Structure 1
Amino acid sequence: MTGFHADPAALDTLARQLADTAGEYAAAAPDLDVGDLGPPAVSGALAALAVEWSGRLRDVHDDFAASAESVRAAAKAYRTADADAADRLGRTDD
């Protein structure tokens, strides 16, 4: 044995936390609508900044969502490997 141990339940918890964080970033992006803030130059500059930051927030959301999916896949792979190993140990050679 290598001493390596994976905890699929802990990975599931991490995946949920990552997904929740992704959701928080997704919810924040629409809040950046600046509306009319006075002179067109000011409103235009703030609108451009809001568009840039909305894009960055979407990118962060996508990164967290992809990480959550990767962690879920790892948990599933570990569960499958554990089930396969348990099945092999339960077999007898006749």
Structure 2
Amino acid sequence: MTGFHADPAALAALARRLEDTAQEYGTAADETGGSGDLGPLVADAFRAVTGEWADRIRVVQEDFGATADGVRAAAEVYRTGDANAVAELRRADG
């Protein structure tokens, strides 16, 4: 043994936390941009700035979502590898 250990359940939990964080960023992006009654010129300028912020927040949201997908895929690889190793050991004992 190499001493390396992967915990698929812990990876799955991390993926869920990353998804939750991505959803929070999505909510923040949705809420960015309310300008109230500032007048037409100020409101347009405010929307331009907050629109840029919302776009940047959405990029971060997408990054968290993609990371969650990658962590989930890694967990599945480890889970499958463990199952295959157990099956192989049973065949060898059998």
- TM-score normalised per structure 2: 0.90
Q: Which residue of 2 aligns with 1:57?
A: 57
Aligned length: 94
User: % of aligned pairs identical?
Assistant: 52
Q: Which residue of 1 aligns with 2:26?
A: 26
> Mean alpha-carbon deviation: is it higher for 29-38 or for 46-55?
29-38
Partner SS for 2:92: coil
Which segments of structure 1 move beyond 3 Å, counting only runs of 4 or more?
none
- In 2, the alpha carbon distance for the partners of 1:35 and 1:13 equals 38
- In 2, the alpha carbon distance for the partners of 1:77 and 1:89 equals 18
Contact 1:22–1:65 at 8 Å: present in 2 too?
Answer: yes
CA distance 1:83–1:54, change in 2 (3 Å): same
Contact 1:34–1:43 at 8 Å: present in 2 too?
Answer: no
- In 2, the alpha carbon distance for the partners of 1:37 and 1:48 equals 15
Contact 1:18–1:65 at 8 Å: present in 2 too?
Answer: yes
What is the RMSD computed on CA atoms of the aligned residues? 1.7
Q: CA deviation at 1:37?
A: 3.9
Structure 2 unaligned runs (5+)?
none
- TM-score normalised per structure 1: 0.90
CA offsets per residue over residues 25-76 of structure 1, 9 Å max, x none?
Answer: 1111111123344243322221111110110111011000000010000000
